[in-house]
Amino acid sequence: MKRLVLIIVSLFIVSFAKAQIAIDTLSTEALNNLLIEQVERLAEDGDEDADYEDLLENYIFLSENPVNLNSEETMRLVELHLISVFQYEELQKYRRFYGDFMFLDELEMVEGLDEQTVAIIKPVVCIGKDESKDKITLNKMARYGKHQLVSRYEQVLEQQQGYAPIDDSALLAKPNSRYLGRPQKLQFKYTYNYRNKIRAGFTLEKDAGEMFFTDKVSDTIQKLLGNQYYRGFDFIGFHLYAKDLGIVKAAVLGDYQLAFGQGLTLWSGMSFGKAGAGSSVMKQGRGITPKGSASEYAFMRGAAVTLGAGAFSGTIFYSNRLVDANISVTDTLESEAEFVSSLQETGYHRTIGELQDRHAIRQQIVGGHLTFAIAHFEVGYTAHHTWLSVPLELKPSHYNQFYFQGNQLTNQGLDFKYVKGKYAVFGEVAMSMNYDSTALRPFDGLWAQGPAFAGLVGLTVKPAGYLNFTIMYRDYGKAYQNLYSNAFGEGSRNQGQRGIYLGMEVAPAPYWNLLAYVDQFQFTWLTSQVNAPSRGHDYYLRVSHSFNRRTQAYLQFRSKTKMKNSTDAFVFSHYPIFYTKNAVRFNINYQLGWDIHCANKAEYAHYRNDDGSNEHGYFLCQDIAYKPENKPYSLTFRYAIFDAKDYNARIYAYENDVLYSFSVPALYGKGMRVYLLGKVKLFNALTLYARIGRTIYSDHDEIGSGLTLIEGNHKTDLKVEAIWKL
C-alpha cells in the first residue's frame, strides 16, 4: 500500500511539472517517426539486401502484441533498438527494487528513460502477469488464439514496355524482351498467434510480371523452359513457431531467421547497421525468429530449436532450400548444371531468363550456437557449414578474386558482451574456410582456399543519464567469406574493410536530443567501383526537439565521402578519385486540433567529385493526415516536389503505405509526387486500405528503361489491401 501511494504521489508531481510540454505518450507517432528514420537511413546507405518488410512487421507485431514489462520479453525492445542495453538494465533494476510494474506511467520514474524513449515504447508495452510458464492446452489455443488474413493487390497502371504485345516468333528471337505474366502483384498471408508463445502462418506471393494460374504461353516457350515452366504463386512460405515450453526456449519448423552475436558469423534477415537508435551500434541477437515476410533472400527453411537450462543455452538448426542462380556450364548429357556464375537475390521470375535461373541449385546449411550467460557477462560460439549442390564459379574480375567460390563454406565465430553499470563491452571474432570438394578444375587468380578472419570490438560508456559515447573498431579480412553475415560495416559485404566508429548521444536540455557519429573506413582490396584499395568517411549529425506534445522537429546533416574510378576518357587507366554527397534535412511533425496530423520535410543534397562534377537536388513535401478519434476511417495525403536532375543527387523519402507494406522511392529528375492513402474499418473484423500515388515529371517524356520503360511523363501506382482479424 505504501508503494502504491508513493507511486501515485510521484506521478502527480511529475505530471504537474510537465503539464504544458509533456509528450503525448498515448499516441504511436513517436514510434512511427523512429521507424521512418531507420528505413530512410537504410535506403540512403544503399543496402539493397535490407529486408524492410521484416523490419516493418517486427514493429507492427509489437504494436499488436505488446511486450509485458513484467516478463523476460522486455529484451525484445533492445533487439529492435527501441531502448538501449543500459535502459534495459535500469528496467530490471527497478523491478528488483520495487517489484513488478503496476502502471505504465511508472516508466517515467525509471532512471535513464527519457521522455522520448517513454513515448516510443509506451504503445508497444503492457502490464500484466508473466504468463511464460502457463500451461498450454488445445482448448486455450482455440479460445484465445488470434487469427489474421491479409490480402493485397498492387499494380502500376501505365503500360510498361515489358507488357507490350509481342508474337511468339519475336519473343523466341529475343527471349528476355517481355514479361511472361501480367502486371498485377498479389499477396496473401495468414497468421495465428497464441499469446506470443505459439505462432503459425503461411505466405503466398506473385510479383508483377510473373505468370499466374490464368496466364498462358505457347507450347514452344513451354518446351524451351522445360521443367522450369511454372505458373502460380511464385513464393510459398510457412512457419510453425513455439517458445517458452519448459527447457525448449524456442523451436521453429518452416521458414525462419537466425541472429547471433554481433552478426559477423551468422545473422540472416533484418539488421540495422548504422540506422540503429542512439550512438551504440552493439547488436542484441534475436536467436530464432519465424519469418512471415515474402522476402526471397537470406532466410532459412527447415527446422531449428533452442534448449536452455541455467546459464547455458544451445541452438541447433538445419536449412534446405532451392535458391536462384545463373547457370554458366551445363552437362549436355544429363542436362544438369555443372557450374553457376552467381547467386540471384531479387526473387523475380518474370522473363524466360529469370525462370531458367529459378531454383537452379540446392543450398543446405547446418550449424549451432552455444551461449553461456551469467550476471552481466555473456559469451557465445557459433558454427555453421554451407553446401551448394553445384559449385559457384564467378566470372573472373580483379575485385572478386577473394569472393566465395566452390561448393562448401564453413564459418565459425566467438562473440561476447559485458554490460554493467555505465559500461558495455562487446565484440566478435569469426573465421571462414572455403574449399571445393568437387575439384573439377582449379580457379584462376588469387582465390584463396585457406582460413580467413574478421573481427570487431566496441565499448559504450554512459557517464551520465543524458550522455553516452561509443567507440568500435572493425577489421574484416579481404578473404573472409560468409553468405549470412550482417555485421556493422560500410556497404552490405563484411569483407575487405577496416574502420573505426565514434558515436555520441546527448540530451543537453529537456526535450532536446543530439546524435552524432563519425565512421572512418578503408577498403583493403579492390571493389566493383575502384581499381585499387580505397578509403572514405561518413559524418552524421542530428538535433531533435519536442516543442510540446503535438510538435516535434529535427535537423539532420550527413556527409559521406568515398572513392570510385575516374571517368576521364583521355586516360589509359582509370585512377581512384574522391566523391562526396552532402545532405541536409529538416522535418517537423505537428497537429492541428486533435484530428489533423501534419508533417513537413525539406531536404537538399549536393554531390561532387574530383573530376569536377557538381550535382544538386532538393525535395519538399507536405503531409496531411485526417485521423478522427473514435471513427473507423482515416485519410493521409502527400504533395511533394523534387528537383534532382542527376541520379547521384537522388533523395530517398519514406511514404506512408497500406499496413504491412512499405514505400521508400529514390526520387531523381524534376517533377512532383502525390498520393492518397485511405483506411476504413467496416466492422470489428475487417479493415480495408487503399493507396494511389502518381509521379509526374516535367523534364522528360519517358520513365524508366528496358522492360520498365513507360512512354509518357507520369507513373501511377495502386495498392488495395484487406485485413480480416478474428
Rounded to whole angstroms, the Cα distance separating 245 from 329 reads: 49
Rounded to whole angstroms, the Cα distance separating 661 from 537 reads: 33
- Mark out the alpha helices in 128-225 (DSSP H runs): 138-144, 168-173, 219-225
The pLDDT value given to residue 613:
84
pTM of the model: 0.90
The pLDDT value given to residue 573:
67
| Angle in degrees, 0-180, between the axes of helices 29-44 and 52-64, rounded to the nearest 10 | 170
**What single-letter DSSP state applies at residue 27?**
S
Q: Please report, in angstroms and rounded to a whole number, the separation of the first and last CA atoms in the chain.
A: 39
Cell numbers for 611, please give them.
573530376
Rounded to whole angstroms, the Cα distance separating 575 from 610 reads: 11
Q: pLDDT by residue (tens digit) across 319-347?
A: 999 999 998 877 655 667 788 999 988 89
Give yes or no for a contact between 160 and 710, defined as CB atoms under 8 angstroms apart. yes
Nearest CA among 494, 423, 399, 501 for reference residue 455: 494
From the number of C-beta atoms within 10 Å of its C-beta (0-12, 13-18, 19+), residue 281 rates as buried
Cell numbers for 454, please give them.
574478421
Note the maximum CA span of the chain. 86
Residue written as grid cell 488445445? 138
Nearest CA among 328, 332, 320 for reference residue 344: 328
Cell numbers for 86, please give them.
543500459
Nearest CA among 604, 590, 704 for reference residue 651: 604
Beta strand 125-126 pairing with 67-68: parallel
Rounded to whole angstroms, the Cα distance separating 496 from 402 reads: 9
Our separate counts of H helices and E strands in the chain read 10, 33
The pLDDT value given to residue 48:
46
Domains and CATH numbers, the chain: 23-131 (no CATH), 247-506 (2.40.160)
Q: pLDDT by residue (tens digit) across 592-641?
A: 988 999 999 999 999 998 888 899 999 999 999 999 988 999 999 999 99
Give Cα separations from 577 to 529, 531, 532, 534, 606 (angstroms).
Answer: 11, 11, 10, 9, 17
Give Cα separations from 416 to 32, 133, 263, 282, 459 (angstroms).
Answer: 32, 29, 12, 11, 12
Give yes or no for a contact between 183 and 215, defined as CB atoms under 8 angstroms apart. no
From the number of C-beta atoms within 10 Å of its C-beta (0-12, 13-18, 19+), residue 606 rates as middle
From the number of C-beta atoms within 10 Å of its C-beta (0-12, 13-18, 19+), residue 138 rates as exposed
Stated as kind and residue range, the H or E segment containing 636 is: strand 633-644
Rounded to whole angstroms, the Cα distance separating 566 from 532 reads: 12
The pLDDT value given to residue 25:
28
Nearest CA among 521, 502, 514 for reference residue 561: 521
Cβ partners under 8 Å of residue 132, min gap 6: 71, 72, 73, 197, 244
Q: In the Cβ-directed half-sphere of 78, how many Cα atoms lie within 13 Å?
A: 21
Q: Phi-psi bin for 15: left (phi > 0), alpha (psi -120 to 50), beta?
A: alpha
Q: pLDDT by residue (tens digit) across 661-707?
A: 878 888 989 999 999 999 999 988 999 999 999 999 998 899 999 99
Residue written as grid cell 528503361? 705
Rounded to whole angstroms, the Cα distance separating 312 from 462 reads: 29
Q: Residue 370's Cα: distance from chain center in Å?
A: 26
- Which residues does the chain have with pLDDT short of 50? 1-27, 48-49, 277, 437-448
The pLDDT value given to residue 51:
59
